[in-house]
Chain A
Amino acid sequence: MGCDFLIVNAYDRMVLARIEKDRLLDVQAINLLAGELLKLVDRHPKISLVIDCEAVTALSSAMLGKLVALVKQVKACKGRMVLAGVNAKIMPLFQVTKLDKVLDFAPTAQEAIGNYRRKPL
């Protein structure tokens, strides 16, 4: 089953994945989303993955765990990943769990794409 709230645009190794769901609290939805994102890493070696989180206003610790698994997989495949447009409401979750030291962030997806284009892998 596909993930109907993830919109993916890929060009070569640059992949923009936009999450179109506000609350990432449901275990099944989280597993589905994480599975789709991991597939992108498998499909695109040395991926430059921009995850647009602008629509997300709530997420659980389970989703944080999936993001950690994802970034580990991205780095193992010599790629890079950034979370773009993270809502101010959920940024404290990354800070209190210290994941702001592990994950990269950008104000907007366009800015993240621009940064990656200027510094190709």
Chain B
Amino acid sequence: MTPWSVQPGPAPCLGEVILHRQWPSRLDVKDEIIAVLSAALLDRGWVLSDDEPWLALCLDEVVVNAMLHGNEGDPYLTIDVHLFQHQDRWCLHVADHGEGFSPAQVPDSEDPDSLLLEHGRGIRIMSEWLDRLTFYRNGATAVLERRIEPTIAKEPHGL
């Protein structure tokens, strides 16, 4: 499992911007967001097709968190998404308009007393697949990072 952390400052914008989009905090556009971001990563060969379920799951978790927790489901607030390429990694920034969260609010997955809680597993699941998971602006910007798959990197089609 990758350790995760919450930082007070803004997320560092390192590398080349591959994609920048804003979407309203509406769950009916969630599938579109996941499709756009998945295509950006899969079509470049940065994520293996075998890992598509993990990618979709991480995107689902981070988008739903930003919409429902960060923006409290307000459809007039947006989530702001940047995809960067930095050296041998891709970095996805997902920013909301909330005040963030305290790490103390997230149940410890290693604590047996947390096993029967009905929430708090999203970060644990994302940490399993990502190389690095960091929350900036006290949690209002999630940064997902993973190494670009080196052997099959290719030019994207239709992007």
Please give the residue numbers on chain A whose beta carbons come within 8 Å of chain B beta carbons, in ascending order.
25-28, 57-58, 60-62, 64-66, 68-69, 72, 89-90, 92-93, 96-99, 101-102
* Among A27, A72, A92, contact of B116 (Cβ-Cβ < 8 Å): A72
Q: Does B124 contact A (CB under 8 A)?
A: yes
Is A61 in contact with B115, judged by CB distance below 8 angstroms? no
Chain B residue, CB-CB nearest to A96: B128
List chain B residues, Cβ under 8 A from A66.
Answer: 118
Q: Does B42 contact A (CB under 8 A)?
A: no
Q: Does B61 contact A (CB under 8 A)?
A: yes
* In the bound complex, CA of A65 to CA of B68 (Å): 16
**Distance in Å: Cβ of B85 to nearest Cβ of chain A:** 26
Is B56 in contact with A25, judged by CB distance below 8 angstroms? yes
Q: Does B158 contact A (CB under 8 A)?
A: no
Is B27 in contact with A96, judged by CB distance below 8 angstroms? no
* With A27-B27, A97-B109: A64-B53 Cβ-Cβ less than 8 Å: no
A-B interface, 9 closest residue pairs, ranked by CB to CB distance from nearest: A65-B118, A61-B121, A61-B122, A96-B128, A97-B121, A69-B118, A25-B60, A68-B118, A60-B60
List chain A residues, Cβ under 8 A from B68.
Answer: 27
Name the prevailing secondary structure of the B interface residues. helix
* Among B1, B64, B109, B117, contact of A60 (Cβ-Cβ < 8 Å): B64
Mark B32-75 against chain A: 1 for CB-CB distance below 8 A, else 0: 00000000000000000000010011001100100010000000
Please give the residue numbers on chain B whose beta carbons come within 8 Å of chain A beta carbons, in ascending order.
1, 27, 30-31, 53, 56-57, 60-61, 64, 68, 109, 115-119, 121-122, 124-125, 128
**Distance in Å: Cβ of B153 to nearest Cβ of chain A:** 24
Is A96 in contact with B125, judged by CB distance below 8 angstroms? yes
Is B117 in contact with A68, judged by CB distance below 8 angstroms? yes
* Among B64, B109, B124, B128, contact of A62 (Cβ-Cβ < 8 Å): B64
Is A58 in contact with B53, judged by CB distance below 8 angstroms? yes
* With A57-B53, A58-B56, A60-B64: A65-B125 Cβ-Cβ less than 8 Å: no
List chain A residues, Cβ under 8 A from B117.
Answer: 65, 68
Q: For the A-B complex with A25-B56, A93-B125 known, give 14 more contacts whose Cβ atoms are closer than 8 Å.
A: A25-B57, A25-B60, A26-B27, A26-B30, A26-B31, A58-B56, A60-B64, A60-B122, A61-B122, A64-B121, A65-B118, A66-B118, A93-B57, A97-B125
